[in-house]
């Protein structure tokens, strides 16, 4: 981006003197809005304290406190000798069923896949139980690394019965596009998420240091008639991916 438009963007962070909220909190909230709204994306640089103070009309101490708030929240990262940058974290709402590719494109990232395995095989006991089929029944097992703007985000293994998809060659870049082409779009899904330490092999594939925590996810997707369509076992980078849940209060609560 040109320097002038970037100056205009950060000038919009100027706190409102009529607002009783502390200046550093106002500045932090407005910067948070620029990030959550997509105006600032992962990897974008934030001006140095002195420059940001001049653009917003506040002191460097105020700027520093604002940035510290967002660093603590994981929205910004500070690299010694390099500066402050927007974290490359992605928030995925758990209330929306969407394929990885569509989700990344909606957020302005370019999705891609690195195929590790794509084969017709027999279902393992865990896969058979999740799909509700007999052990060793014919399935497709599709394993790949999912990337966003070239950055490894997850290792994903999708398993589907061959009665629904007969050949792995039917699946291109998007698994969900292949399902849609065969009239097999799921209407709901159940996800189980737990944190664990990455294996050495996973750390190598995801370009992370070892040991480091990852998010292990098992998702079962269902067709309108209630039948399980596919089960996906994923390992997401915990340093780049957040799963967000919106909660609502019930009518009766303590």
- Write down the pLDDT at residue 198: 94
Q: Residue 117 in contact with residue 189, Cβ under 8 Å?
A: no
The angle, 0 to 180 degrees and rounded to 10, between the axes of the packed helices 49-56 and 60-72 is 110
Quick one: pLDDT at residue 73?
A: 72
- Supply angle C-alpha 247, 249, 254, rounded to 5: 130
Q: Determine the pLDDT at residue 221.
A: 94
Percent composition of the chain: helix, strand, coil (DSSP 3-state, to 5): 30, 30, 40
Instruction: State the pLDDT at residue 242.
Output: 72
> Tokens 């510290």 map to which residue?
68
The per-residue pLDDT for 3 is 40
DSSP per-residue string spanning 53-122: HHHHT--HHHHHHHHHHHHHTTSEEEETTTEEEE---EEEETT----HHHHHHHTT--EEEEEEEEEEEE
Distance CA 100, CA 235 (A): 13
Residues in the chain: 254
User: Mean pLDDT in each 10-residue stretch from start to end of the chain (254 residues)?
Assistant: 60 85 91 83 87 92 92 80 81 68 74 93 94 95 93 94 94 86 91 93 91 91 94 90 69 58
Please check whether residue 162 is in contact with residue 140, taking contact to mean a CB–CB distance below 8 angstroms.
yes
């Amino acid at each position: 981006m040109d320097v002038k438009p970037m100056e205009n963007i950060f000038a919009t962070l100027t706190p409102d003197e009529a607002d009783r909220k502390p200046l550093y909190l106002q500045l932090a909230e407005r910067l948070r809005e620029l990030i959550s709204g997509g105006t600032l994306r992962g990897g974008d640089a934030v001006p140095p304290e002195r420059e940001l103070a001049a653009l917003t009309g506040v002191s460097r101490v105020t700027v520093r406190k604002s940035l510290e708030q967002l660093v603590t929240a994981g929205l910004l990262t500070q690299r010694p000798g390099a500066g402050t940058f927007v974290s490359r974290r992605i928030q995925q709402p758990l209330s929306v069923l969407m394929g990885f590719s569509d989700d990344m494109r909606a957020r302005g990232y370019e999705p891609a896949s690195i195929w590790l395995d794509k084969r017709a095989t027999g279902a393992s006991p865990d896969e058979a139980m999740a799909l509700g089929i007999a052990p060793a029944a014919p399935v497709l097992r599709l394993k790949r690394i999912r990337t966003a703007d070239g950055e490894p985000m997850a290792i994903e293994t999708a398993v589907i019965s061959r009665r629904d998809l007969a050949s792995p060659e039917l699946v291109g870049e998007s698994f969900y596009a292949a399902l849609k082409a065969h009239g097999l779009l799921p209407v709901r899904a159940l996800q189980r998420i737990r944190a664990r330490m990455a294996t050495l092999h996973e750390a190598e594939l995801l370009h992370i240091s070892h040991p480091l925590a990852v998010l292990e996810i098992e998702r079962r997707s269902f067709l309108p008639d209630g039948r399980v369509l596919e089960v996906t076992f994923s390992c997401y980078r915990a340093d780049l991916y957040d799963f967000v849940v919106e909660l609502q209060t019930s009518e009766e609560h303590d």
